[in-house]
Amino acid sequence: MAEETIFSKIIRQEIPTPLLYQDDLVTAFRDISPKAPIHILIIPNKLIATTNDVVEDDELTLGRMITVAKKLAFEEGISDDGYRLIMNCNSHGGQEVYHIHMHLLGGKRLGPMLSV
Ligand code: AMP
């Protein structure tokens, strides 16, 4: 059983972070340390530690994460210019918080996808 992270407390609003979106499956809020003018995290309400832990039953939730990303990109006015969706996994992927999340980044022309 994965250990809860700060994201579970944000979902339950035990840490009162302003939410941009929440439904029965996913929650979205602004990244505390933005790497672009728009930097939003979209996370499943269910604790899934890494993308390695995803199972078939999660497919609806994972799809919802993308439709919510699309909706928020539109609301933030970055749909037409474009944006980037990123999910990091484990240490080589640069994952810091072990509750999967999709980064929605935009608001300027982003740099190369990877700096290795
Ligand atoms: P990752 O490296 O993909 O695990 O990304 C974790 C992200 O969570 C980082 O971009 C952090 O800035 C962000 N983060 C960590 N704690 C918080 C928090 N309390 N509220 C919002 N974003 C957070």
Q: Where are the chain's structural domains? A: 6-106
- pTM for the model: 0.97
Q: Which tens digit of pLDDT belongs to each residue from 55-82?
A: 999 999 999 999 999 999 999 999 999 9
Shortest-distance Cα residue to atom 5 of ligand 1: 96
Quick one: fold of 6-106? HIT family, subunit A (3.30.428)
Confidence of residue 114 (pLDDT cuts 50, 70, 90): confident
* Residue 101 falls in the annotated catalytic set: yes
Q: Mean pLDDT for the chain?
A: 97
Give just the sign of the alpha carbon dihedral 19, 98, 35, 67.
Answer: negative
> Ligand 1 centroid to 95 CA: how many Å?
9
Q: Choose the residue to mutate in 9, 13, 14, 31 for probing ligand 1, maximizing ligand atoms within 8 Å of C-beta.
A: 31
